[in-house]
Amino acid sequence: MGHSYERHEAGGAVILADHLTADCEVLERLRATQGIDFIDEFGPESAGIDSGGRWAYYPWRNAVVRIAGPDAFRAARLDRNRHLITSAEQERLQRLRVGIVGLSSGHAIAYCLAAQGLCGALRLADGDTLELSNLNRVPATVLDLGLNKATVAARRIAELDPYVSLEVFTSEVTAELVDEFLDGLDVLVDQADSLDIKMLLREAARDRAIPVLMATSDRGLLDVERFDLQPRPAVMHGLLGEMDTTALSGLSTRDKLPYLLRLLDARQLSARGAASLVEVGQTLGGWPQLAGDIWVGAAAVAEAVRRIGLGEPLKSGRVQIDIAGALDGLAQPVPRDAEFPAATDGLADAAGKEATFRIAEVVASAAIRAPSGGNAQPWRIIMDDNSFQLLLAAEDSATMDVEFRASAVALGAAMFNARVAAATHAALGPVGFREDHSHTALHGELRWGDGDDPELAQHYPAVLARQTNRHPGRAAPVPPATAARLTAAAAGEGARLHLITDRDQITAISGILAEADRIRYLTPRLHAEMVSELRFPAHPSPETGIDVRCLELDASELAALELVRRPDVMVELARWDAGGVLGDVTRQRVMASAALAVVVVTGSALTDYARGGAALQAFWVAAEQSGFGVHPVSPVFLYAHDDNDFQTLSPAFAAELKTLREDFRARAGLADDEHEILVLRLVSGPPPSVPARRRSLSASLHAPG
């Protein structure tokens, strides 16, 4: 690395490398100079980050400091920027060259840009020296008094990051100097006091298509002029009309005041700021500024520079970031629990009101208590004197409902409930499903009869009481008799149950399901649909979807939900290929399960999935009757059969989903001809906190014809 000492002596550090002969000679001379301290905090543990060995010489400190090489230094210093600024973005920003004129308020801006690694080079200009009255806002010390303001800022930045390229102009930027100052800049920050200089800088920046930023401390005004995007717009947004540098320089201070007020927009000044402006030159020596306001402006400019450097949207215009005004709007936060109304079932109690219901209504009320993915309730009901019918409601489908397979499962479960209710009331007749794509993808019918099937009827109370239990639970053993009962329940409806109790297998599957959940979060459409299922207070459709209280999340998990439901957060995590923690809740829940259950069927028609839905409901009821809660934990890939299905689910993660499905099926011991109906946890724990809600029966009806 070569050095131009004249360029850097005013503010930057001199970087010396052990492996360069000329630099070694300089180091030897410095070591031989009395009063120069060598500081080497690198121990053996630091060797891994020292790429080549460098020394930073600070003449004003009479000190030489051992530092890591540039890449290692920046990687370590900027590590806490991740992932707010990615490594690739940081590298891109290192190529940015920013000029700042006016190093009173500009000092904080320069330091903020350097601290965040938003540029690789800073060019600083100020003709004034630091005075005691500047220390209310300039982050310097009494040791710096009498020094040039640009020099003070440059030295502080050099001590923060010796690799930032620093140029210092210790005189005012005049018409003779403006070309030299602007040469090669990507962004100009104008914090000059003089209106003449502000105009001069903008006219010259416009000629070179350099964007100009300005922050004023009063009420946090940020001004952006994108001369790089617009073909010769009026400077200062046209607020000064036809005024230019030549005309402005000929005006007296008094005559410039109206133009200054136009630029600052006197109507937007705070009361104290406006009053202070009146007193400048009277009881005040200059425009008053507060340190806190200066740093608010620095933060705003830093974000604007980041956007310009990365090519993100930032248009010309103004915005106010008024901290004082924001504090006037303080309000008490509402605890999340307090926002929820008292828990109610949301359903008429079919068992308690049978006396007033016709049999058809009793059967339908039992049917709509069936589970469905996301509590979508993808059915419409027809009741007449001859039968009870279920129609698949395609409008309630979602992406994970591949080819309506999940909806078919829900209809099968609902028909199981209808059969149980009909048997209880001696109204059971023939039952069947058919695919009828001319009207609906799947159609189920229960003909009225006089059957009373005691085997089915015994499940009626359990059908009405069935709920999803998402409590973490504990890994309690499943008695052999219970396992046999659950297996028989599924088999009785024409399905097969894979009950997984081996802890190593459960742990392995928990990782698969967690990764599938991560993909669900990181796939925009899947994430949007998942979030749309959640029911927070005041949701317009509380009778569908999942009440967040039903998720049984602890305080930290509920707080995290506020972050992971945001699509912009997921976009960033997907861009970084990150988000490993997104599946943690699923992983932890699965590992705390008493067992995992996979209900499967042979055959892949929708009628097969409906048969599987009936088996699922029979299993669920039997599990609750055996003292276990049930919690579906079905992965994104559950209903995918081929590559097209995986592409439909998540184009960006199709290959990963296919691999995860293969791994899951192998771990669960599924045969090639078996298709998953649902994956469920057996939960040993307390009952659900609140019951799930359903649409009213009237809202579920479909007029025949």
| Angstrom distance (rounded) from CA 526 to CA 540 | 21
Of 641, 544, 530, residue with least CA distance to 583 = 530
Mean of pLDDT values over 488-496:
97
Examine the pLDDT at 361 and tell me if it is beyond 50.
Answer: yes
Whether this prediction's pTM lies above 0.75 is answered by no
pLDDT recorded at residue 217: 86
Q: Is 325 helix (H, G, I), strand (E, B) or coil?
A: helix
Angle subtended by helix axes 503-522 and 524-533, to nearest 10: 100
613 Cβ partners below 8 Å, 6+ apart? 370, 408, 409, 410, 411, 412, 413, 414, 415, 416, 677
| Angstrom distance (rounded) from CA 425 to CA 143 | 94
Examine the pLDDT at 165 and tell me if it is beyond 60.
Answer: yes
Q: In 299-335, which positions are buried (b, 16+ CB within 10 angstroms) versus exposed (e)?
A: bbbbbbbbebbbeeebeeeeeebbeeeeeeeeeeeee
pLDDT recorded at residue 53: 77
Of 367, 345, 358, 430, residue with least CA distance to 702 = 367
Name the pLDDT band for 45 (thresholds 50, 70, 90). very low
pLDDT recorded at residue 703: 59
pLDDT recorded at residue 261: 79
pLDDT tens figures, 112-159: 999 999 999 999 999 999 999 999 999 999 999 999 999 999 999 999
- Tokens 């099926």 -> residue: 665
pLDDT recorded at residue 245: 86
DSSP 8-state secondary structure symbol assigned to residue 577: T
Examine the pLDDT at 592 and tell me if it is beyond 90.
Answer: yes
pLDDT recorded at residue 83: 83
Percent of the chain with pLDDT over 90: 74
Q: What are the distances in angstroms from CA 501 to CA 299, 509, 593, 598?
A: 55, 11, 9, 12
pLDDT recorded at residue 6: 34
| Angstrom distance (rounded) from CA 259 to CA 269 | 15
pLDDT recorded at residue 313: 96
Who has greater pLDDT, 452 or 264?
A: 452
| Angstrom distance (rounded) from CA 563 to CA 582 | 11
User: What structural domains and CATH numbers belong to the chain?
Assistant: 1-76 (no CATH), 78-237+289-323 (3.40.50.720), 359-700 (3.40.109.10)
pLDDT tens figures, 415-464: 999 999 999 999 999 999 999 777 789 999 999 999 989 999 999 999 99
pLDDT tens figures, 294-336: 999 999 999 999 999 999 999 999 999 999 889 988 988 866 5
Q: Where are the beta strands (DSSP E) in 291-386?
A: 317-320, 379-383
Angle subtended by helix axes 567-576 and 555-564, to nearest 10: 80
Examine the pLDDT at 354 and tell me if it is beyond 80.
Answer: no
Examine the pLDDT at 256 and tell me if it is beyond 50.
Answer: yes
pLDDT tens figures, 189-247: 999 988 999 999 999 999 999 999 999 988 889 999 999 998 889 999 999 888 888 88
In the chain, % helix, strand, coil (3-state, to 5) comes to 50, 15, 35
Give the DSSP per-residue string, 254-285. HHHHHHHHHHHTGGGS-HHHHHHHHHBTTTBS
pLDDT recorded at residue 5: 31
